[in-house]
Amino acid sequence: GDRMALGGLLDSNTACNPALAFGIVFSLDDDDTGLNIYYSKGPGLPIYNEDDPRIGMPYDDSRHLLVANHKCGGDGRSGASALDLPTFSPTTPTLLPTPSDDGWDDDDDGVVAELKGIDYTGDDGTPLKGFLSEPTRHSKESRCAVVILPDRNNVSDHEKKRAGMISKELGFFAFAADVYGADKHDVQDGRDQEIKYRYDPNLLITRIQSSINVVKNQSGVDPSCIAIIGYGLGGLGVIDFSLANTGRSDIVGAVSFHGTFKFFDAQGNMSNPLLVLSGALENSGYEMEILETTLNEANADWQITRYSHARDGFAVFGHQSYNAWVDGQS
């Protein structure tokens, strides 16, 4: 084409392989008057260009780092265009809205929608209370919904804000689910409760199922399009529920954010796909290998993504380990 991206001394076969092609990307300026150089020190590290304000693009090994020419079947556009570099700095990430002291701005232009409290009960009769966020531009067509499972503090502002984000940004219903009980919201020290549910997976799974059932019955929700996500203890619950979800499919997908780890058991062929997002300082590689083995035993469709320098709580607003960059990537 009118612009060419070259991969240093790498041959065309290597340049087409994102697992091998990291290092330097060359591209012409938009006016074809100069040469841009984008470089990375290795897989998983940002791509930098010292003269380009679009620096700091995270390396994503699921797509080409080097821009493909016709030999790779690409479009022949410049490195900057084909890489679609986001506008944020590696030192001061702006890929998320600027958070207020408590995590996110709560004004009309922010991500927090008006929530509706919903009272319901668990299978054991425990009173529960969750919070539903509806899409701001609600249409006559049924919409998908996301059930948000809380960390060990149970339902708090974090889950409510996530619900608002999902409705505003994705156009889905979102439900901040209750795990412990209506009288145990925003628990400041939830370690005892966390241990209780961590080692009683059946109780945790039934609480999750109760939340899914409530959401399915909401007006405007497509009951065949429910997903679950969870943080910390909720992330563990996502994995427990997915492994128990055999022979049926109450959900279309599940995502675990820095889920509390334990040794899980495969219970048959897992029905829903699962994405596990884990901090490298949170779980060991050995633990992840064990989880992979279990998911393979369950014949699951799974993906595990790990983040360097990230700990438990990397995606919880206000948490001491909150990491805006990792949060944005996850």
Tokens standing for residue 51: 């003269």
Low-confidence ranges of the chain (pLDDT < 50): 1-36, 38-112
Q: Which tokens is 240 given?
A: 């427990």
* Contact indicator for 106, 112 with CB cutoff of 8 Å: yes
Alpha-carbon dihedral 106, 112, 118, 123, rounded to 10 degrees: -110
pLDDT, residue 138, reads 58
What are residue 228's phi and psi, to 5 degrees? -125, 140
Residue 133 CA to residue 322 CA, distance in Å, equals: 24
Burial label, 298 (beta-carbon count in 10 A; 0-12, 13-18, 19+)? buried
pLDDT of residue 98: 31
d(CA 128, CA 120): 5
pLDDT at 87: 36
Residues 291-306 pLDDT 10s: 999 999 999 999 999 9
- Six-digit token pair at 180? 């412990």
Place of tokens 């490298």: 280
